[in-house]
Amino acid sequence: MVTIKQVAQRAGVSFKTVSRVVNNDPTVKPENREKILAAIEELGYQPNIAARMIRKKNSDVIGFISDEISTTPSSVDIIRGAQDMAWEKGKTLMVFNLNQKDANPAQLFDECTQHRAEGVIYGAMYHQPVKLPDSFQKLPTVMVNCFDPEQKYPAIVPDDEQAAYYVTRQLLAKGYRRIAFLNLNPDIVAAQLRLSGFKQALNEHGIADDNYIVKTIEQVEGDEVKDVTREMTLDVLENFKPDAILCGKDLVAVRVYFVLESLKIKVGEDIGVASFDNWDVIPDILIPGLSTMSLPYYEMGRRAVQKVIEASENKNEQSGEPEKITCLLASRASF
Amino acid sequence: MVTIKQVAQRAGVSFKTVSRVVNNDPTVKPENREKILAAIEELGYQPNIAARMIRKKNSDVIGFISDEISTTPSSVDIIRGAQDMAWEKGKTLMVFNLNQKDANPAQLFDECTQHRAEGVIYGAMYHQPVKLPDSFQKLPTVMVNCFDPEQKYPAIVPDDEQAAYYVTRQLLAKGYRRIAFLNLNPDIVAAQLRLSGFKQALNEHGIADDNYIVKTIEQVEGDEVKDVTREMTLDVLENFKPDAILCGKDLVAVRVYFVLESLKIKVGEDIGVASFDNWDVIPDILIPGLSTMSLPYYEMGRRAVQKVIEASENKNEQSGEPEKITCLLASRASF
DNA sequence: TTGTAAGCGTTATCAT
DNA sequence: ATGATAACGCTTACAA
């Protein structure tokens, strides 16, 4: 690798002058600057980040520890968002996955400190409470798509309540009056928040209790969690006769579509279907396209990086309530 | 941050002795080793990787440049595999995405050299030829899920031909005799290779030309690429009357399932359905579960890291034919 | 405007 | 078995 001294020699100046040019110090004679830039170009010089790092005290590295996040197709967008923002801010994102064999959060955190990361982001696969090892206290830490139950760390989460509220209002605005909500397992944070948002919208609109219904698409039998979307959908269609179905996630909507197809009930005409996720190509593969609330993963990733940079600069780590990111409706033709 | 000298002071030895302990040099008095380890523990010392890096000439960093790869749900597994292998080999994988605004491959490559990466992996979203900038010649480079048309770099790709050959043989073994292949756009490498594997299996089994049919599920109209899976499926069912349908990807299978559902044709009973990808939860969300050829992304990621380490150590970059990774059947109930 | 000297936290060399 | 000293490639502080 070519060093700053080699460039200096080639340009016929001291290596300090080269350093000045590299760091955009204006106090260099234009003539020399030219020569030096030429030498840099010629030799293909690139500053050694490691060497720079030990001298200046900042590494410009942000660690990203993910709880299997990159396995979950949509939440990969958290990483994309984080990477884009890091790039814009001149930082390097170092991504570590929890899935690797026998790696625990504390180990990966150590990996981050070894690289002298200036801050760490911990991202989860789905919106959930997470208890981080105490070691995370040593670095500015931001949680994304998850949160500390004791609010020890700032957190970024999707606004699931707003999402349900919004989509329900949209359904009502389009004239749907008997909505069946096929919700996720009630143990899940998102399911609870969405139920709340759903009910609030109905209340504000004066919808009576017997004009909506909420069902769970997962049944727990001992240790087994069984998906009962198909049965639930048939049940609800027969006994409740909804004019719209709100699905807990896009994959639930896929199964609902199948049931409706088999009954020759036309989505978007005979019945409205809405959902949560906007998961990759799924909403587009369905016919008609599925109108669904986007989980704002990309935006969450961006915010997380912003926040961790702020925290590392100001040192005023204001945790408290998680920051909720608004969900938008990806509108297609299903309602 | 605590340094080696602080540890030395605390343990009452010279910093060089601490260095010896940290680097597992056996020539340290056990008594001192104890003291030093205690001091390390107490102060929470961690070696500064950057400082280490300038002295030793290796960085243990491998760059991974991805062509939007992390947007494509399944191919994220390439990164997972790469990360796992890197972890096992004591390397750090630095992932960069091409999607970030105005970032081109050459820029990201520079990012890698700045971090003194020992090698670079270039990964693509789907199996395709890719022309890399010449700068990649400067570092050991391995391509994964793509290849250089002139074979300048070693490459790892899925064995699409074998995949099609294998799944077709399986269909034949189960007694299916009239197979319709709803293939991807013939411009795509995978489509060509699969067609070849498909035909070979049929030939070996003595299936006559009028007992199979191949259709494309994408129609190009000017600049627009239109998915015609639904129409094609209906067409093929009516006019060819297959006993099995082989789909170009799982998302095609989803649409095929819908058509079959609407016609009350039972998958796995009245007709066999097979596919390629094994894309996340899609095959499991379908009822019955979709039997589909896994694209070996995880394994490909692992191999890529292995190969780039070999290349950086031996310097004998043997390119030539891309290395093909075998695809396995994820068997469910659709045929 | 430019250069010298010191120092960052390590590892390598060589003496003790 | 241990430690002094140099070196890595760079930035900072200060002098010229």
Same domain, B125 and B99: yes
Question: Who contacts A92 (Cβ-Cβ below 8 Å, separation ≥6)?
Answer: A60, A61, A62, A86, B94, B111, B115
In a domain, A331, yes or no: no
In this structure, is residue A98 part of a structural domain?
yes
C-alpha angle A299-A163-A157 in degrees, rounded to nearest 5 = 45
Chain A contact present for B284, CB below 8 A: no
* CATH number of the domain enclosing A220: 3.40.50.2300
Q: With contacts defined as CB-CB under 8 Å, which chain B residues touch A138?
A: 44
In a domain, B334, yes or no: no
DSSP B267: B
Whether A258 and A165 map to the same domain: the answer is yes
Mark the nucleotides of strand D covered by protein, meaning any atom under 7 Å from a CB: 1-5, 7-13
Beta-ladder partners of A271? A267
Q: Is B278 on the interface with A (CB under 8 A)?
A: no
Q: Are the Cβ atoms of B255 and A285 closer than 8 angstroms?
A: yes
Q: How confident is the model at residue B298 (pLDDT cuts 50, 70, 90)?
A: very high
The reported pLDDT for the residue numbered B67 is: 85
Q: What is the pLDDT of residue B225?
A: 87
Contact B44, B20 (CB under 8 A): no
Between strands A119-129 and A141-147, the pairing is: parallel
Give the pLDDT score at A280.
84
Q: What's the confidence (pLDDT) of residue A313?
A: 87
DSSP assignment of B311-334 equals HHHH-----SSPEEEPP-EE--S-
Question: Which pLDDT does position B316 carry in this prediction?
Answer: 66
Query: What was the pLDDT predicted at B220?
Result: 86
Q: Is residue B333 part of a domain?
A: no
My answer on whether B66 and B11 are in the same domain is no
* A111 lies within 8 A of chain B by CB: yes
Q: Which of A118, A225, A261 to mutate to test the interface with B (most CBs of B within 10 A)?
A: A261
Residue A36 CA to residue B266 CA, distance in Å, equals 73
Buried b (16+ CB within 10 A) or exposed e, A248-263: bbbbbbbbbbbbbbee
Let me know whether B104 and B152 are in one domain: yes
Report how many domains make up chain B.
3
A164 domain residue, yes or no: yes
Please give the pLDDT value at position B125: 87
Planar angle of CA B298, B302, B308, nearest 5 degrees = 145
- Flag if A261 and B258 touch (Cβ within 8 Å): yes
Q: How confident is the model at residue B162 (pLDDT cuts 50, 70, 90)?
A: very high
In this structure, the answer to whether residues A79 and A127 fall within a common structural domain is yes
Consecutive 10-residue averages of pLDDT for chain A (335 residues): 94 95 94 95 95 92 84 75 93 85 85 95 94 95 97 97 98 98 96 98 97 95 91 98 97 97 97 95 95 96 96 78 97 98
Chain B residues touching A99 at Cβ < 8 A: 80, 84
* Contact between A70 and B87 using a beta-carbon 8 Å cutoff: no
* pLDDT score at A131: 96
> Which of these ranges, A201-205, A235-239, B69-73, B82-86, has the smallest mean pLDDT?
B69-73
Q: With a CB-CB cutoff of 8 Å, which residues 147-206 of chain B face chain A?
A: none
Interface contacts A/B by beta carbons within 8 Å? 127
Q: Which residue of B has its CA nearest to A72?
A: B73
Q: What is the pLDDT of residue A317?
A: 64
> B234 and chain A: CB distance < 8 Å anywhere?
no
Structure confidence at residue A32 (pLDDT): 94
Who contacts A284 (Cβ-Cβ below 8 Å, separation ≥6)?
Answer: A290, A332
Specify whether A185 is located in the same domain as A129. Answer: no
The answer to the question of residue A271 being in a domain is: yes
pTM to 2 decimal places? 0.93
pLDDT bin (cut points 50, 70, 90) of residue B72 is low
Q: Compare all CA atoms of chain A with the CA of B57 and give the residue at the minimum distance.
A: A1
Q: What Å value separates CA A46 and C1' D9?
A: 11
B116 contacts in chain A (CB < 8 Å): 1, 48-50
DSSP E strands, chain B: 61-66, 92-97, 119-129, 141-147, 155-158, 179-183, 212-216, 218-221, 224-227, 244-247, 272-277, 291-294, 323-325, 329-330
Q: Are residues B74 and B170 in the same domain?
A: no
Distance, CA of A196 to CA of B92 (rounded, Å): 44
Using the CA of A54, give the nucleotide whose C1' is nearest.
C8
Give chain B positions within 8 Å (CB) of A100.
83-84, 87
List CB contacts (< 8 A) between A84 and chain B: 97, 99-101
Kindly report the backbone phi and psi dihedral angles of residue A92, in degrees, each rounded to the nearest multiple of 5, phi listed first. Answer: -110, 130
**Across B15-27, average pLDDT:** 94
B19 touches strand C (CB under 7 A): yes
B31, B55, B79 — which closes off a domain?
Answer: B55
* Tokens of residue B89, six digits: 């080999």
- Report the mean per-residue pLDDT for chain B: 94
CB–CB contact B101 A95 (8 Å):
no
Largest CA distance in chain B: 88
Q: Are residues A94 and A35 in the same domain?
A: no
- Provide the CA A137 to C1' D2 distance, Å, integer: 37
Residue B331 lies in a domain: no
Residue B86 placed within a domain: yes
Residue B21 maps to which CATH number?
A: 1.10.260.40
CA distance A96 to A135: 16
Is residue B208 scored above 70 in pLDDT? Answer: yes
Nearest Cα residue in chain A from B287: A255
Domain that holds residue A97: 61-157+297-325
Tens of pLDDT along B310-330? 999 886 667 789 999 999 999
pLDDT beyond 60 at B308: yes
Nucleotide nearest to A26 (CA to C1'): C1
Measured CA to CA, the distance from residue A231 to residue B260 in angstroms comes to 20
Residue B68 has pLDDT above 80, yes or no: no
Residue B77 is predicted with a pLDDT of 87
For residues A84 and A164, state if they share a domain. no
Q: Which nucleotides of C are covered by protein (CB under 7 A)?
A: 1-5, 7-13
Residues A44 and A69 in one domain: no
User: B118, B217, B281, B298: best mutation site toward chain A, by most A Cβ within 10 Å?
Assistant: B281
CA distance A28 to chain B (A): 24
Any A CB within 8 A of B137 CB: no
* pLDDT above 90 for B221: no
- Residues in A 17-36 with any Cβ partner in B closer than 8 A: none
Enumerate residues 6+ apart whose C-beta is below 8 A from B45.
B2, B3, B4, B6, B7, B39
Within 8 A of A103 by CB-CB distance, chain B residues are 87
Contact A114 B285 (CB under 8 A): no
CA distance B48 to chain A (A): 6
Q: A70 to chain B: which residues are within 8 Å by CB?
A: 70, 76, 79-80
Q: Does B275 touch chain A (CB under 8 A)?
A: no
* Cα→Cα distances B32→B8, B29, B35, Å: 11, 5, 5
The whole-angstrom distance between residue B205's C-alpha and the CA centroid of its chain comes to: 32
pLDDT of res. A115: 94
At residue A290, the pLDDT reads 98
**Rounded alpha-carbon distances, angstroms, from residue A266 to A18, A232, A293, B47:** 70, 18, 21, 64
A73 and B280 within 8 Å at the Cβ level: the answer is yes
Say yes or no: B14 contacts chain A, CB-CB below 8 A.
Answer: no
Does the beta-carbon distance from A114 to B46 stay under 8 Å? Answer: yes
| CA A12/CA A33 separation, integer angstroms | 11
B193 and B133 both lie in a single domain: no
**Residues 55-114 of chain A in contact with strand C via CB under 7 angstroms:** 55
Q: Does residue B131 share a domain with residue B112?
A: yes
Question: Closest chain A residue to B91 measured between Cα atoms?
Answer: A111
Across residues B139-143, what is the average pLDDT?
Answer: 96
Query: Parallel, antiparallel, or unpaired: how do β-strands B291-294 and B329-330 relate?
Result: antiparallel
